Every structure is written in C-alpha cells, then in structure tokens.
Amino acid sequence: MHKFKAFFCVFLLFPTAFLSFAQNNTNSPYTRFGYGELVDPAIGKNVSMGGVSFGSRSKNNINPSNPASYSNIDSLTFLFEFGAGGRISYFSQNDGKSEVNFTGNLDYLTLEFPINKWLSSSIGMIPYSFSGYNFTQNDSLSILGQDEKTYYTQSFSGIGGINQVYWGLSAKFFDHISIGVNASYLFGYLTNSRSLIFTNNGYSSSNQTSNLTVSDINFRYGIQLFHTFNKTHQITIGGIFENKSDLNGVCKVITTDADTIDLSNGFESPLMYGGGIFYTYKNKLSVGVDFLQQQWAEAKYFGKTDTLKNRTKISFGVEYQHNPNSKNFWERTIFRLGANYGNSYININNNQTPDFGISFGVGLPLKNSKSIVNFGLEYRNMGSSAQNLLREDYIKFSINTAFNELWFFKRKFE
C-alpha cells in the first residue's frame, strides 16, 4: 500500500515536468508544417523494435499503441513506466550548407494495473506531436525599373506541441481474444512566426504570428487474437482503429498592423487504422510486422482537406532473450533490432517527404526483480536531396524504466 501511494504521488507530480520538457525535443524546420512532427504511441521496447506494437502482448512493458494488450498483465502485477531521450540532428542542403543541434526531453509516463482476472486498465501521458524550429533565409530579387537588387531576410520560428492524457481498458475473452479502448484528451498549442525584412530600397517589413490551441477527446479501439501452439509457438494478430475527429482548434493570426484574425472549427485528426502480426518462439525470439495508414488528406487543416497527405508506415522488429528464467544477468538481457519506412503527412511543393528509420536496443534486468531498464538508439532520415528538399538525419538515444512489482497480494507470516 505504501508503494502504491508513493508511485501515485510521483504520477501526480510528473505532468508539470512533462509539459516543461515537451517543448524542447526538436529544432527541425519540418515541424513548421501541419501539427508538427507526429509521435506514434509506441513506447519503451517497441521503439527499439522499429515501432512494432499492434500485435505485441508483453507482461513486463506497457503498450498504449494497442489498448487490447493491457489484458496480458498478471493479476498480481502493477506496472509503472517512464522514459526520456536526447536527439542529435544533422541538416544538409544541395548547396553544401549544414547544421548540427542537440535537444532532449522527457518522453512519456504510463502505468498499468489489473482490475480483475479478465479486465485491466492503463493510464498515461504521451505526446501526440511537437514543433520547434528557428531559421533564416537571405535572398534578393530584381524589381522592374530598378537597377539595384532588393535584398531581404526571411525569418521563421515556432514552438509548441500537442499532448495526450489517456485512460484505457482491456478485456480478455476465452483466453484467445482481447479487446480494448483508449479514451484520450488531446491538448496543447502551436505558435508559428515569420517575418520579412528588407535591407535596402526602403520597403516596409512585415510580421505574422499564428497561435493554434486544440482540445479534443479521441478514442482508439484495439483488438488482439492470440494462441499458443505446442507450448512453444505464440502468435498474435492485432489491429487498431481511430475515427476522424474534430480537434476543436482555435487559431489567432496576428499581423504587422496588429490586426487579429480568428479561425476555428477547421482542424481535424484523421481516420486511422493499422494491423500487425507478432510471433514468439519459446519465449526467447520474437518477430513482428506492422502496417499503419493515416488519412490526413481527408482531414481538415485550416478548413481545407488538400493541405496534408495520407501517411503510410511499415515497421519490422526482432527481440531476443536467451533465457528469461535464468539467474545469469547476460542470459536475461534482451536485445532488440528494428526498421521502418513510410512517408510524412506534410506536403511541400507537392512533394511528400520520405521517412526511414532503423533502431537498436537492449533491456537490462534489475537484480531479483522483473523490472527492466531499456536503452535504445534510433537513426532516422527525412527529406531527400533528389527532391531539392532539406535533408534531416538524426540519432535519438533513449532510456526508459519499466517497474514491475507484485502489489496486489497479502503477505502471510508464520
């Protein structure tokens, strides 16, 4: 009981830290478009497996990506998990210009617990998207009737993000079927500013700032079908679905002359669906494949449905643990590898930026405990010089801890 109170207090205190760090995790010009860089709800070990999560059913890690997975928790177990990460980004252009920067933040906070033998629940706070950038461009133009070129500087900056607090329920039926649902409250803001400054010829400069705030309740539905063959082969087929939803977005645009334009009811999250297969052999080797589709082209953004593009993502992951029941540290150590490929939802000059990533991770077991400390390393690439776009390469390193404790039993003393 004392443990539960301690962790509950930590859970209440962490939102402040989460909101403080959530704005410092990127400095990418690509986050200027749409709602910023989207964050898939795969967390912890699933990130190191390339994001594979729809068919994953773990007793030791929380998987909010598919709420049907919660029912796999042991009836005496309480799970508490949080993670943080850092990111080194390298930007390059065809003209040879490049830049390197570093950012870091707290990633997520989740907990999971059983309600009875067939019903379980999870509560957590995870990011939905984030934005952060600050860059300038210097250029010139020739004006008809003037011999001298007009030089100008364009500046762009932005900050913010959309977060989500979720509560999920999962029920298991007939030892082979699990269904679940996450009810999420999405909230946050995105601020984007741009300015145009002329350095000669006396032209007036201009500034514009847009402030978008969103608040919405969204639902994610999940299902998993699972079975064990000959006590050695475990197969799970999972699927998720989200309806298109109104984000209740309100945007205020402030221009140079202090005019304010209010825009509302023109922002939506997309219809989304995905599926995956997860196979485990003798509780040692696991292999998973996922497919995800987000129909952003049909979702409103500033009242239009042709601004963004549909997003598709395919993920593949592998996990190996030599002997989960061994007392030897290295035999209980978990190794993970993954990769994914897709396209971004942002639309730049009718180009859809490709998105590729590979990942590696290890899970280190704590002594005399089922708790695990996970370390992950992920490389991603966005943009392509072949499309005359800015290329972004970054390496993200992460650490997360999954506390697995037996809390729901009474000790007997003789």
Q: What are the angstrom distances between the C-alpha of 383 and each of 192, 194, 245, 343, 348?
A: 21, 22, 29, 10, 10
What is the Cα–Cα distance from 45 to 38, expressed in whole angstroms?
Answer: 19
Which pLDDT value is given to residue 99?
78
Residue 152, C-beta contacts closer than 8 angstroms, at least 6 positions apart: 138, 139, 140, 141, 196, 197, 198, 199, 203
Domain ranges of the chain: 2-406
Which pLDDT value is given to residue 6?
47
What is the Cα–Cα distance from 334 to 370, expressed in whole angstroms?
Answer: 12
What is the Cα–Cα distance from 50 to 87, expressed in whole angstroms?
Answer: 17
Which pLDDT value is given to residue 303?
86
Comparing CA positions, the residue from 337, 290, 293 lying closest to residue 312 is: 293
Which pLDDT value is given to residue 22?
46
Which pLDDT value is given to residue 199?
77
pLDDT tens over the chain, length 414 residues? 445 554 555 555 455 545 544 445 567 888 888 899 999 988 889 999 999 999 999 988 999 999 999 999 987 888 999 999 888 888 877 766 777 888 888 889 999 999 998 999 999 999 999 898 888 877 777 666 666 777 878 888 899 999 999 999 999 999 899 999 999 999 999 999 988 887 776 677 788 888 999 999 999 999 999 999 998 999 999 999 999 999 998 888 888 776 677 777 789 999 999 999 999 999 999 999 999 999 999 999 988 888 899 999 999 999 999 998 888 999 999 999 999 999 989 888 777 888 899 999 999 998 888 899 999 999 998 876 666 667 888 899 999 999 887 765 555 544
Rg (Cα) of the chain, in Å, rounded? Answer: 24
What is the Cα–Cα distance from 359 to 268, expressed in whole angstroms?
Answer: 31
Comparing CA positions, the residue from 266, 258, 314 lying closest to residue 291 is: 314
CATH tag, 2-406: 2.40.160.60
Which pLDDT value is given to residue 115?
92
Which pLDDT value is given to residue 202?
66
Which pLDDT value is given to residue 8?
53
| HEC readout, the chain | CHHHHHHHHHHHHHHHHHHHHHHHCCCCHHHHCCCCEECCCCCCHHHHCCCCCCCCCCCCCCCCCCHHHHHHCCCCEEEEEEEEEEEEEEEECCCCCEEEEEEEEEEEEEEEEECCCCEEEEEEEEEEEEEEEEEEEEEEECCCCCCCCEEEEEEEEEEEEEEEEEEEEEEEECCCEEEEEEEEEEEEEEEEEEEEEECCCCCCCEEEEEEEEEEEEEEEEEEEEEEEECCCEEEEEEEEEECCEECCCEEEEEECCCCEEEEECCEEECCEEEEEEEEEECCCEEEEEEEEEECHHHCCECCECCCCCCEEEEEEEEEEECCCCCCCHHHHCEEEEEEEEEEEEEEECCEEEEEEEEEEEEEEECCCCCCEEEEEEEEEEECCHHHCCCEEEEEEEEEEEEEEEECCCCCCCC
Which pLDDT value is given to residue 258?
65
Contact 54, 143 (CB under 8 A): no
